[in-house]
Amino acid sequence: MACKTKQVGATSMDKIVYQPIKVETPKRPAGQTDVVNLVTPKLETVRVGFIGLGMRGPSAVQRFTHIPGAKIAALADIRPERVEKSQQILEKAGLARVPGYSGSQDAWKALCEREDVDLVYIVTDWETHVPMALYAMEQGKHVAIEVPGAMTMEDIWALINMAEKKRLHCMMLENCVYDYFELTSLNMAQQGLFGEVIHAEGSYIHSLDDFWKAYWNNWRLDYNAKHRGDVYPTHGMGPACQALDIHRGDKMNYLVSFDTKPFKGKKLYEQLTGKNGDNFQNGDHTMTMIKTEKGKTMQIQHNVMTPRPYSRMYQLTGTQGFANKYPTQGYTIEPENISKDDVPNHENLNSHGFVPEDVKKALMQKYKHRIHIELEEQAKKVGGHGGMDFIMDYRLVYCLRNGLPLDMDVYDLAEWSCLVPLSKLSLENGSAPVEIPDFTRGAWNKVKKYRHAFVD
């Protein structure tokens, strides 16, 4: 059933052409232009205010105590004890306590209004990200927002419009693009080792059984109870979109989604809340497939319910090679695509098996990304998901201090987060195709190829 797709013409009884469900692209307000490759005046010191100090927030505060050129300027959480916990992190690091804001729903606003804050770093529950980010940008602050950046199309467009209007950075804190295997493989892809990358996969497959009870006010399970679709797509989307140069020469055109029923979700909700779970919306397993303008594909999955080993899938399929992270890390490279001088065992390479372990090691060393060469050692010491969180924060501060475009812009936030509302739309319409808007409104092909910016 393609209920709401539009029939655009039938050339014969057996050839009916349907179009994807169209979602509105609001007209760009007069006087605004896109913020692709946005650069803003260099900041000698990046003064950061944190909002949201629950499970994730304090680790960001901790990481920022190690970042050169960053200064923690203020802290906010609705719960005073959470602000206090982060003040203690500062004290332990030998730093002075900073102004703290708590005690009411909108106490964080005063943090955004402070003269001595350049960047507002938002680590609250999903539905509060956007009002906080909009208010902060209104006050002239750059913003960094935890994942997913926004949950509705209205909110996504509101962030884009505000970032364009104010010419400010609005970055989503997608850490997985800095993971060791992902970034090394991206470097290999960018240097042509896999030929042309034609298909990418990613996912968030992580049983949250140990975490559900720990979220403030049960926000995460409640959100899943109310919303069908892939509600946490960005850990898979980020690395996939970077490898496919999305809005740097290609763009996503449409998606289709499938989900299972909430077999476990319903029961879990009933157990944890004591409420009736008959109307629990989020399927236990959700899959989304995406087609790009250049004819490439992506597959993204979400499963936070059933027992399974953790997986972000991470897979790149190229015309001459292949990268795979879960459950087995490995590469397949056509022998002709790599020099005998670069790897041992060259004679054993083939197009139907993973390269031997020593070849993989040699490849990963040769294609280590510049970011990892520079930061790996310190990142491992500071930590945060094996170091990738530190690298994300470091890069954000480095780019702001040097007046460089950030690694992730507001359109990345939009593209990676839009699966939340658009997968829901597809599912609620019999898995019909749904158009993915060009969030850059015409600038998706301005930059050719995704690259990180450096001073030299």
CB of 343 to ligand NAD, least distance (A): 33
Cβ proximity to ligand NAD, 55 vs 93, nearer residue: 55
Choose between 20 and 202: whose C-beta lies nearer to ligand NAD: 202
Q: In the window 209-228, what residues touch ligand NAD (CB under 6 A)? A: 215-216
Contact string (CB under 6 A) for ligand NAD, positions 235-264, x = contact: ------------------------------
Q: Give me 310's structure tokens.
A: 């953790």
| Interacting residue with ligand NAD among 64, 108, 135, 398 (CB under 6 A) | 108
Q: What is the largest CA-CA distance in the chain?
A: 76
Pattern 38-77, ligand NAD, x by CB under 6 A: -------------xxxxxxx------------------xx
Taking CB under 6 A as the rule, does residue 147 contact ligand NAD? yes
Q: Which of 365, 369, 382 is nearest to 454 (CA)?
A: 369
Number of residues that bind ligand NAD (CB under 6 A): 24
Beta-carbon contacts of residue 234 (< 8 Å; ≥ 6 apart): 147, 148, 149, 172, 174, 176, 416, 417
Q: How far is the CB of 156 from ligand NAD (least distance, A)?
A: 15
- 368 lines the binding site for ligand NAD (CB under 6 A): no
Query: Under the criterion CB under 6 A, does residue 125 sit at the interface with ligand NAD?
Result: yes
Q: Smaller CB distance to ligand NAD: residue 83 or 333? A: 83
How far is residue 225's CA from residue 239's CA, in Å, rounded to a whole number?
A: 28
Q: How far is the CB of 217 from ligand NAD (least distance, A)?
A: 7
Of the pair 302, 441, the CB lying nearest ligand NAD is at 302
The letter for the amino acid at 448 is K
- The answer to whether the CB of 360 falls within 8 A of the CB of 354 is yes
Contact in structure between 251 and 223 (CB atoms under 8 Å): no
Interaction between residue 229 and ligand NAD (CB under 6 A): no
Which strand ranges, in their side-by-side order, compose the sheet holding 434-435? 330-333, 321-324, 315-318, 197-205, 297-303, 286-292, 252-259, 434-435
Beta bridge partners of 279: none
For the bound state, the minimum distance from the C-beta of residue 346 to ligand NAD, rounded and expressed in Å, comes to: 38
Beta bridge partners of 252: 292
Cα 164 to Cα 30: distance, rounded to the nearest angstrom: 11
Residues in the site for ligand NAD, rule: CB under 6 A?
Answer: 51-57, 76-79, 82, 105, 108, 123-126, 128, 146-147, 175, 215-216
